[in-house]
Amino acid sequence: MSKDVEAYEPASEGETVTPRRASVSATEKGRWERLWPVIACGAGLFSDGYLNNIIGPVNAMLGRIYPNAYKNSSAQANVSSITFAGTVLGMLFFGYTSDHFSRKWSLFVSTLIIILFAALGTGSYGAGGSPTGLLAALVAYRFFLGIGIGGEYPAGSVGCAEGTGELKAGSRNKWFILFTNVQIDLAFFISAIVATIVVVITGENHLRVAWRVCLGIGILPPLSLLYLRLKLQEPEAFKRESMAKAKTPWMLVIKYYWFRLMIVSIIWFIYDFSAYSFGIYSTTILSNLLGDEAPLWKSLAWNILINFFYMPGCLAGAFVADLPSMGPKKTLCIGVTLQGIVGFIMAGCYPWLSQVKNVGGFVVVYGIFLMLGEFGPGDNIGLVASKTCATGIRGQYYGIAAAMGKIGAFAGSYALDAIQKAAGDDKIAAGRNPFFVASALAFLAAGLVLLLPHIGQDTIDQEDVLFREYLVSNGYDTNPMAAGR
């Protein structure tokens, strides 16, 4: 073992491990100095939530403006899901740059990309005036927008996780969740309110203005974070354990982490498969329940209530994940199991819930289904991904797992559309079958959670030491890795 590594035994469930070397929390910083990097790194996921969820109402608007060019073609699915394709590319690219160059600059560049293409997408410049050209331009700009959003995960969320390691033990999971998944869910809720207000103000005869305004507001959140991110410093964990100046031992990394990464990736795939696809199509689902003659604002208003249910779920999960008797692993498992149960109940009761007179009951049960998803996997899958690997490869590990999640979202948006179309004229089956699929996958995810390691308050410190030990025991020279010990 190298002289700069002092080992300790892995934590058992419920225990907190204090490394023999100084923890990153021992740095001489005030409370605000420790907290604001967590905010600056994580809060950018608000952009992800807003720009992905607002496309649901925008879909509904475009469908009414261009019924032939939109509803009767693949344009609806492309506009909805192409951002996910760009996000996957961005996650993998910025995962590499955040590990091999800089967390700070990877995050700053991704923020600039979001601002640029969010602005371009509002006008769909280059559309040539035709509906087909406009939709093609919107698809292209949202793909590049996705690349920027992708950087928020392996650079922003990873930096946020490493920043929470400098906070007081017992609150680290809560702060990570508050500035990652809670930001996404808050953005879901805000985007539903924004869409409703904009449509009410512009009127349904001016939806060409409304959809552009809805997308344009998405420029404001990343713009507000630009200065904070420019002033960021690299996290203490990154300063200590970065492999930016060292050759990455890929075979050793794969041997050590492949199984854990596979489990985390599959769980994230399953979660995003239902969470994002249901979120994107919630406005359309409500429109179908209310009927074609109902005004658009009415389905958008009901969508506010649906998106509200995300909030109690994610806030409750943030605090439960820090309880000594629970932790991220148990919270995730309980949440996804309960979601599966509610999903099957909803599928069974769908003939009753699908009646227009019972739309309130549908929204409440559907909201509980979404709420449990946020309480469990929504809050904790990113936390698990960020804390089950060493700092030196955390960006790439997290980026791969998150990319698998977005592939799930991408697949889910097409699958939900295909499932509904396969039902033909049977509206009950079209509404019920997606819940059967999502609920079955939820139970699969619950079983996989049991294969994950325990995650304690000091897991980041612990994982770095254990990974160094492993590298040294296999003949890898750890001296080129960042110092600071």
71 pLDDT exceeds 70? no
Q: Any residues with CB less than 8 A from the CB of 338 and at least 6 apart, and which?
A: 372, 375, 376
Q: Are 53 and 303 in contact (CB under 8 A)?
A: no
Q: What number is the average pLDDT over the span 3-8? A: 38
Place of tokens 């999502």: 438
Chain segment 205-242, per-residue pLDDT in tens: 888 899 999 999 999 999 988 888 888 888 888 888 88
State both tokens at 251. Answer: 């075979």
- Separation between Cα atoms, residue 163 and residue 40, nearest integer Å: 10
Buried/exposed 393-429: b ≥16 CB within 10 Å, e otherwise: bbbbbbbbbbbbbbbbbbbbbbbbbebbeebeeeeeb
Poorest-confidence range of 84-93, 308-317, 320-329, 473-482? 473-482
Q: Are 241 and 103 in contact (CB under 8 A)?
A: no
Place of tokens 């498992």: 333
State both tokens at 236. Answer: 């203490």
In single-letter form, the type of residue at position 118 comes to A
283 pLDDT exceeds 80? no
Outline where 217-354 has alpha helix (H).
Answer: 220-230, 236-241, 250-290, 296-308, 310-320, 327-348, 350-353
pLDDT band of 1, cuts 50, 70, 90: very low
pLDDT at 195 (0 to 100): 93
State both tokens at 175. Answer: 């702060």
pLDDT at 264 (0 to 100): 96
pLDDT band of 282, cuts 50, 70, 90: low
69 pLDDT exceeds 90? no
Q: What is the pTM of this model?
A: 0.86
Chain segment 399-410, per-residue pLDDT in tens: 999 999 989 887
375 pLDDT exceeds 50? yes
- Separation between Cα atoms, residue 288 and residue 302, nearest integer Å: 12
- Separation between Cα atoms, residue 210 and residue 206, nearest integer Å: 7
pLDDT band of 286, cuts 50, 70, 90: low
Chain segment 333-350, per-residue pLDDT in tens: 999 999 999 989 988 888
352 pLDDT exceeds 60? yes
204 pLDDT exceeds 90? no
Instruction: Using alpha carbons only, give the angle 79, 80, 84 rounded to the nearest 5 degrees.
Output: 100
73 pLDDT exceeds 80? no
pLDDT at 236 (0 to 100): 85
300 pLDDT exceeds 90? no
Domains and CATH numbers, the chain: 24-473 (1.20.1250.20)
pLDDT at 268 (0 to 100): 94
- Separation between Cα atoms, residue 485 and residue 337, nearest integer Å: 42
- Separation between Cα atoms, residue 314 and residue 472, nearest integer Å: 40
